[in-house]
Structure 1
Amino acid sequence: MFGILSKGGHKIKGTVVLMPKNVLDFNAITSIGSGGVAGTVGGILGGVTNAVGGVIDAATAFLGSNVSMQLISATQSDGGKGKVGKEAYLNSHLPNLPTLGARQEAFSIYFEWDTNFGTPGAFYIKNFRTDEFFLVSVTLEDVPNRGTIYFVCNSWVYNFRSYQKNRIFFVNDTYLPSQTPPALVKYREEELETLRGDGTGRRKECDRIYDYDVYNDLGNPDGGDPRQILGGSSNFPYPSRVRTGRDKTRKDPNSEKRGEVYVPRDENFGHLKSSDFLTYGIKSLSQNVLPLLKSAIFDLRVTSSEFDSFDDVRSLFEGGIKLPTDILSQISPLPILKEIFRTDGENVLQFPPPHVIRVSKSAWMTDDEFAREMIAGVNPNVIRRLQEFPPKSTLDPTIYGDQTSTITKEQLEINTGGIAVDEAISTNRLFILDYHDAYMPYLTRINNLPTAKAYATRTILFLKDDGFLKPLVIELSKPHPGGDNLGAVSKVVLPAIDGVESVIWLLAKAHVIVNDSGYHQLISHWLNTHAVVEPFAIATNRHLSVLHPIYKLLYPHYRDTININGQARQSLINAGGIIEQTFLPGKYSIELSSVVYKNWVFTDQALPADLVKRGLAVEDPSAPHGLRLLIEDYPYAVDGLEIWDAIKSWVQEYVSLYYPTDAAVKQDTELQAWWKEVVEKGHGDLKDKPWWPKMETTEDLIKSCSIIIWTASALHAAVNFGQYPYGGYIVNRPTLSRRFIPEPGTQEYDEMVKNPQKAYLKTITPKYETLIDLSVIEILSRHASDEVYLGERDNPNWTTDSKALQAFKKFGTKLAEVEGKITARNNDPSLKSRYWPVELPYTLLLRSSEEGMTFRGIPNSISI
């Protein structure tokens, strides 16, 4: 039907799908300049109006000679490279193509072809327009000896003068480097050279260069607010980030000036993705809304800056906070912020009720829920089995003195039902949530911050006969007042159900959760998912061609990660940013995560290895997944092992298609360069660690890819999308502690006895910081409408390999089966840790989700 004979040969018809840059480009409308919030709102509303009537105009503007393409042969060479065909130009507009997505436009194009050209394997494209456009895909039809050829592009194309070399796109075939058609070899190598750049100069918006740098852009030395540079040293090691190349600060030549963060252009989708509503919502929140709220609260135009009671906290969801008209008028027109704050045209800031109190308003206070959230909450991968008593420290005693726990066996045995500590340890019934060593080195500095007063905590729990955990004791430690080198000063708090002792126990639990909240956000979430994945994304783009099978395997799991990490450096983890304002370590937050990174082990990120390392499982060939869990009702582990096995089975089947032997792995030049750079540059501060896989066997490759995918998908989902459901009620997951537990004979002690709720609220996160925290974690807990979930791809033509497609379909089917199993477990009343006592089932590892805050869903990548 589409073969059209012409002079001297044949014409091949192509369909080009693209999206023109238009006024809805988020990069333009969310830049807050002198116009402030109102100017931004006007830009948004004006943009929507213009876009409605401008679709045909935008399409028409591409007609004529604005965009040209040239096919490149994969089978016929000219001078050592694939033959380049004649230039062709976009032809007629195809507005009614049924496969088009939102805001996509399609055009026809005709290429001259003859038998001496061979089969197309790539194409050049030139944009002669001033504005860039987003090239979605190109499809060639009725290609002689081939049929239909797909090019999945998903890339911004700027004016041709922006590039030193022509923009090239490759067919969706899959080739190892040694199997690449000879005509495409040079093109493949040249494209990777382009993506690597030369390591110099400041990156421009149109650049597609992936390079490495340290975290030297968090502080503002010239403004008197420096931060420790992270990365490039043994004292403060850190994963690498994408290099921007901005000017250095005047006071510190090793630090970069703050400003817009460079993101390789194809990592920043701009107006194409609804998830950018979420990403830029954080930016607008940080730069505009929060200062307004702070002004309102501290000018006392809103009620007191303190919560008066738990009912007062719940009023955030049940009635809201009345805001002055002038402030609300600057917030409510922003679409994402209006949805978050539920203003609905009234002068009220109201949040949605967090899941943890939707059924019961008080179950969060129980010891059962306190323990349950350690294995089924938002931070379920820190608790470990207690294997020695008393718990010891790994801190250097020459610097920190004796940090051994002061908990006694007698204190533990009060609530073990007559079971001795030694017996409880030998029968695997004692567990510990231990934040002592993570916080103690920073505690003196943290407690010198204006409002922080904190302990380093240890919590020991007992596994009851019914399989539920029971807290036995909390140890609260501070550095010795005579100096850190003199060891810790500790107090031990035991459970109590009434009287002043019950208030002290509740406060002790709050201090534990403040430790947990900070560790969760800085380590479990930011460091162990966001930060550690970025170097893999950089190296993959620098050394694995789009034709490479491992590129095709991993690329979906990097979607938006570099972008969201760049936004985090601007608004979340920067000096004075949201994390420093709302979490205990304050200005030492990211520096603390660097100290923890010293002990990061790539291979331990595999879920089975993590469970064994923490003593939560032992290897048992007869058990499911080859592991026997020592807490059988451990929702994160039970569900996670099923997801892990599905991922590893998929990776194993896929890898075996291309690497039949270990020799094939060792002989893959791109793969070896990729892994060498991951280790030596991406995670270069840990490059000498012996645990890195050598990448010499198929098992090395399967394990490494499985860990990357698990970390970017299921692990991130488990520690991210429950943030608001659990933490939206700040008394359940406070992020700050502002005073120590009062001592008898003090005014604070008398107030605590008289009004326990007031004492609790004066200890934890105050009102303004709560509003910041809730605003941010509600955004972070949401899914975008165009999210792509584990076992899915955004384009069915991501490869032409039918065996790979078949294996991927099997992967999706397996994940659907796992969803069914998880749902069945959540409906099993004998598995109490899944829902009791707050009646909140563990759904964070259900693969699929709708848009919004659903408390479920595993996206392919760290996209928020």
Structure 2
Amino acid sequence: MTDSNTAQEAQSQQYEYRYDAFKNISPKLIYPMAVKVLPADQSFTKWKWTKNVVSLVLRLVANQAMQNVSLRKGSACRLITFIRLYRILEDPKNSSYIERLFDFIISIARALTNRFKRRPKSQDIEQDVKQNQKPDQVQARVEAMVDDIQQQSKTKDPVKHLSFEDYRNLFQIIYLPDISNHFLEDRSFAAQRVAGANPLVIMQVSELPEYFKVTEEHYTKVMGKDDSLQAALDEGRIYLADYKILDEIDPGTVEVGVNGSIKETIEKFGYAPLALFAIASGDCPGRLLTPVAIQCSQDAGSLIFTPPSIAAVDEERWAWRMAKTVVQVADGNYHELISHLGRTHLWIEPIALGTYRRLAKHKLGKLLLPHFEGTFFINNAAAGSLIAKGGVVESILSGTLLSSVTLSVKAAKGYPFAFNDSMLPKTFAARGVDDPQKLPDYPYRDDALLIWDAIHKWVKSYLEVYYSSDDEVLSDAVLQAWLAELVAEDGGQMTEIGEVIPEDRRPKIRTLDYLIDATTLIIFTCSVQHAAVNFTQASLMSFAPNMPLAGFNAAPTTLKVSEADYFSMLPSLSLAEQQMNFGYTLGSVYYTQIGQYKANEVELEEMNQHDYFGDSRISHHLEIFQNKLKEIELTIQQRNETRPTFYDILLPSKIPQSTNI
């Protein structure tokens, strides 16, 4: 056996598969994941990454202490303390503001409240990291702090008569998202289909489902009598958000406690609505999506809700708001379970594992491995906490834990698109949203395609240095072994990946074009796609009334409801607080940056000085890619000065290199 084969065998043994990561949920949930967090993936030992996480946790601790102050001591004390904290957090002249943040916020939090009987010291965490302690020890300290936050939020008494101000008041030190000022507007509701947390569902339709009986009267009531539903369908101006897949989720329950004891078990509601949108006729580039009709279930004959007229009574407005909330609950569950957990975190795991095992010393592996840094760590942490029994997914999402994670696994294995159909331009074409003339305002599409094209050119330039023909690709035994492992039953268990021909049905990488496309998809998903669905959790999903992750009352069945009916659908303040903590934390940590390659063992501060690609042929193309990303940054900033819907989620400077949070 050659030395290279021996090294490969050792690599394969180090990076092992497990298929029972969700065995505590159900032994039937089989999905390939890494047995353990790998040495090259222990990003938690890097001080800058850890510091950002801990600073967020401390903000949440102080934020909740502030809530207690506002209840006990009044708004004056809250204002004074907030101003002091604001100065620390926002002073651009303070080059070491996060270091000071540790001591400052923890002292404020301790002074304000004694509710936390067990709060780990931030100084201990800092000392652990600086002394290069084991990642498990550092992780345990942070998890304990997070647990304090969750336990406190679970002990708050449910408030029976809520207002929007109650939800806004949950934000004290951490920023109240701007969406809190606009979420009731129809314009905001429509904009979130194309620039929201989940801009991946809407599709163009030429006819409506038989069970969605929107009439001409419904349509012209919104779009005016100069237009017609049939004309809009014929001209490609009708778009549908259909959440039928969510019928597979079984509604769950959640326990709400007071002072640590269980008070009651609350039933949650999930929905599988349909929402219809239209674009006005004409050629004006500023034409926007307009919400036309909502049906709150897949059942034929269900009530159709339309936007209220100017003369509508308040009860009709509350009914329309309830219908929109049904859609938002559905979109939030689709986002977390399919677009986020399923189609990024879980989808990437077997590809990353196979790459570490088979391509660690290969030219393709050198390109891909930086895009997997931190993925095993965050996925392992999620499997043991967020998506475990008693975790956030079970608490704040609509469904039972089993049905929710089952849907995520289904997404990872190919819903709604298999690997070969997941190339970004293909997905837009398949949904009929690829034509800017028909759907002018679609910021996610426009920005994502810019970066997809840049990644594709970078990957093409890189691979063409090493491959000059399809035959060289096909004859690369290491590359073919990588694909074979990705599809193997005792490997990645992936389907519909690779190329097949009539005379050979075994999937292989047969052409350079396919290798370029596949590599582009992997890099895009690890970085851009994950950023698109992750960082909106802070800006759009942390404010629960905008996108509740569960309903707490049935969908409306009449065209007139009361304000109390509407608020009965929203989560309690304790659950809204958990959603705020969850969304703010996951949506606020930025670690690494797309295009800035580095070896895993190199510190972030040394990234720009590290020559990861030593081949001058590669470094030249990398410089072109990095400059292109800078151009895209400027293009997106210029677009945001004029386009109707502001969208800065995909600024390259805000896109991490990998799925690491």
* TM-score normalized by the length of structure 2: 0.77
8 Å CA contact retained: 1:430, 1:460: yes
Match of 1:412 among 188, 213, 219: 219
In 2, Cα distance between equivalents of 1:213 and 1:517: 29
In structure 2, the partner of 1:424 is 232
In structure 1, the partner of 2:517 is 703
8 Å CA contact retained: 1:241, 1:535: yes
Q: Secondary structure at the match of 1:765?
A: coil
In 1, Cα distance between equivalents of 2:12 and 2:399: 37
In structure 2, the partner of 1:241 is 33
Comparing both chains, which one has the higher relative contact order based on Cα–Cα distances under 8 Å and sequence gaps of 6 or more? 2
1:217 aligns with 2:21: yes
In structure 1, the partner of 2:384 is 570
Match of 1:364 among 183, 193, 213: 183
Match of 2:336 among 492, 496, 521: 521
Q: Which has the higher helix share?
A: 2
Which structure would you say has the larger Rg? 1
In structure 2, the partner of 1:787 is 592
Match of 1:493 among 292, 305, 324: 305
Shift of 1:645: 0.6
Shift of 1:708: 0.3
Q: Secondary structure at the match of 1:686?
A: coil
In structure 1, the partner of 2:293 is 473
8 Å CA contact retained: 1:297, 1:305: no
1:684 aligns with 2:493: yes
Deviations 1:489-537 (A, max 9, x none): 6222111154211100000100100000011011111111111111111
Unaligned runs of at least 5 residues, structure 1: 1-184, 198-208, 221-225, 232-237, 245-261, 321-349, 393-403, 479-486, 619-627, 835-840, 849-856
Unaligned runs of at least 5 residues, structure 2: 58-138, 255-264, 501-505, 599-606
In 2, Cα distance between equivalents of 1:810 and 1:460: 42
Aligned positions of 1:6-405 closer than 5 A: 186-197=2-13, 209-214=14-19, 216-220=20-24, 226-227=25-26, 229-231=28-30, 238=31, 240-242=32-34, 244=35, 262-277=36-51, 288=144, 292=148, 296=152, 302=156, 304-305=158-159, 308-317=162-171, 320=172, 350-357=173-180, 361=181, 363-389=182-208, 391=209, 404-405=211-212
In 2, Cα distance between equivalents of 1:671 and 1:413: 57
In 2, Cα distance between equivalents of 1:285 and 1:189: 41
8 Å CA contact retained: 2:424, 2:452: yes
In structure 1, the partner of 2:472 is 664
Shift of 1:291: 5.8
In structure 2, the partner of 1:510 is 325
Deviations 1:274-317 (A, max 9, x none): 32456688866995456655665665xx5644572111111122
Instruction: Classify 1:477/1:228 alpha carbon distance in 2 versus 1 (closer, same or farther; 3 Å).
Output: farther
Shift of 1:631: 1.1
Q: Secondary structure at the match of 1:641?
A: helix
Match of 2:553 among 725, 739, 751: 739
Instruction: Classify 1:385/1:228 alpha carbon distance in 2 versus 1 (closer, same or farther; 3 Å).
Output: farther
8 Å CA contact retained: 1:605, 1:711: no
Shift of 1:792: 4.4
Instruction: Classify 1:791/1:295 alpha carbon distance in 2 versus 1 (closer, same or farther; 3 Å).
Output: closer
Letter in 2 for 1:524: S
Shift of 1:415: 2.0
Q: Which has the higher strand share?
A: 1
In structure 2, the partner of 1:234 is none
Shift of 1:445: 7.2
In 2, Cα distance between equivalents of 1:667 and 1:638: 37
Match of 1:592 among 407, 429, 436: 407
Instruction: Classify 1:765/1:489 alpha carbon distance in 2 versus 1 (closer, same or farther; 3 Å).
Output: farther
Aligned residues: 544
Deviations 1:344-379 (A, max 9, x none): xxxxxx43221324xxx2x22111110001101111
Letter in 2 for 1:630: K
8 Å CA contact retained: 1:298, 1:305: no
8 Å CA contact retained: 1:188, 1:545: no
Match of 2:433 among 592, 616, 619: 616
Shift of 1:441: 3.1
In 1, Cα distance between equivalents of 2:421 and 2:396: 30
Shift of 1:798: 1.3
8 Å CA contact retained: 2:196, 2:540: yes
Instruction: Classify 1:285/1:278 alpha carbon distance in 2 versus 1 (closer, same or farther; 3 Å).
Output: farther
In structure 2, the partner of 1:34 is none
In structure 2, the partner of 1:603 is 420
Match of 1:843 among 645, 648, 654: 648
Match of 2:363 among 534, 543, 549: 549
In 2, Cα distance between equivalents of 1:273 and 1:560: 14
In structure 1, the partner of 2:278 is 462
In structure 1, the partner of 2:114 is none
Aligned positions of 1:627-642 closer than 5 A: 630-642=438-450
Shift of 1:722: 1.5
Instruction: Classify 1:808/1:734 alpha carbon distance in 2 versus 1 (closer, same or farther; 3 Å).
Output: same
Shift of 1:770: 1.4
Worse overlay, 787-796 or 277-286: 277-286
8 Å CA contact retained: 1:734, 1:764: yes
Shift of 1:726: 1.0
Shift of 1:411: 2.4
Letter in 1 for 2:273: T
In 1, Cα distance between equivalents of 2:454 and 2:507: 21
In 2, Cα distance between equivalents of 1:572 and 1:187: 42
Instruction: Classify 1:455/1:502 alpha carbon distance in 2 versus 1 (closer, same or farther; 3 Å).
Output: same
In structure 1, the partner of 2:657 is 860
In 2, Cα distance between equivalents of 1:654 and 1:629: 34
Shift of 1:787: 2.1
In 2, Cα distance between equivalents of 1:760 and 1:637: 33
Letter in 1 for 2:192: E
Q: Secondary structure at the match of 2:222?
A: coil
Indicate the percent of aligned positions where both proteins have the same amino acid: 28
Instruction: Classify 1:186/1:645 alpha carbon distance in 2 versus 1 (closer, same or farther; 3 Å).
Output: same
8 Å CA contact retained: 1:290, 1:772: no
8 Å CA contact retained: 1:430, 1:461: yes
8 Å CA contact retained: 1:461, 1:471: yes
Alignment RMSD: 2.9
In 2, Cα distance between equivalents of 1:530 and 1:688: 18
In 2, Cα distance between equivalents of 1:494 and 1:601: 35
In structure 2, the partner of 1:769 is 575
8 Å CA contact retained: 2:252, 2:267: no
In 2, Cα distance between equivalents of 1:593 and 1:269: 25
Match of 1:442 among 249, 256, 260: 249
In 1, Cα distance between equivalents of 2:360 and 2:39: 17
In 2, Cα distance between equivalents of 1:563 and 1:273: 15
